[in-house]
Structure 1
């Protein structure tokens, strides 16, 4: 099975006017939780409808991080280690 990392995003918030990055319009959505999801049937880049912990992926953002491309590294991007879903992590560790 091929897993895809998806971000559960927080509510949009105003960004600072200087040095802010994010979508146009001055709105930034911060990563709230990092989940793993199986790939959608017939796809290697789209997440399936549910994460490994059972959450709906519809409103989640797919990342470019692919666990299979990083042998020996954790399944999630290390900069978001503190935001990893414990239920997805438990499934990925088995």
Structure 2
């Protein structure tokens, strides 16, 4: 199974239309991992590894380098501890 990194963003419902109109980037609240949809390496499944709904989350990508952490280094302090525990197994 391959995992995809997804971002839980600040106020996804309230900010989405404002961000689209203004081009303002929403801040990342938490970094999660989600299983990929079967047959895809770019589409996250419906739930993260910790059980959150991915519908309003933004896809960040797929971990590529086996020696690097699964999450982007700039968001290390925002990693979901439950997703991290599953990824370390």
Give the TM-score, by structure 1 length.
0.81
- 2:41 paired residue number: 44
* Alignment of 1:55 onto 2:52: yes
Aligned residues: 84
Regions of 4+ moved over 3 Å: none
Q: Deviations over 1:43-89 (max 9, x none)?
A: 1110000000000000000013x22x112111100100000000000
How many angstroms apart in 2 are the aligned matches of 1:57 and 1:26? Answer: 22
- Which of 24, 29, 38 is 1:27 aligned to? 24
1:7 is matched with 7
Higher CA-based Rg? 1
Unaligned runs of 5+ in 1: 13-21
* 2:73 is the alignment partner of 1:78: yes
RMSD between superposed Cα atoms in Å? 1.8
1:30-52 deviations in Å (ceiling 9; x for gaps): 00000000001221110000000
Aligned partner of 2:88 in structure 1 is 93
